[in-house]
Amino acid sequence: MSSHAEPVSVRILDREYTVGVNADERDGLVAAARLLDARMREIRGNNRMVALDRVAVLAALNLAHEVQQLRQERDAQQRELAGTLDTLNRRLDGLLGG
């Protein structure tokens, strides 16, 4: 992994932003910028008079909500997996002990 940050330019709603990022994180940043651009364009729609800060906040809120939902799903899956592993371990203990 490289610890050297390189400048990467991304376009979001027709504005260019330059961000310093490690080379191994470049593709992820570009993909995130594309996702954000798409969400902001979707929220703005055909109304180009909507304030950019409002569009940005709504896009950020939508993405944060999705992240929160994914975290809750992941946590539920981890709890389910832990329960299943616990059940299997108890069954194995029962078979080996008996």
Encoded tokens for 31 = 């993909």
Enter the DSSP assignment of 45. Answer: T
Encoded tokens for 87 = 């059940």
Kindly report, residue by residue over 53-83, the tens digit of the pLDDT: 999 999 999 999 999 999 999 999 999 999 9
Place of tokens 């592993």: 85
pLDDT at 46: 85
Kindly report, residue by residue over 15-38, the tens digit of the pLDDT: 999 999 999 999 999 999 999 999
Kindly report, residue by residue over 32-44, the tens digit of the pLDDT: 999 999 999 999 9
pTM (whole model) above 0.75: yes
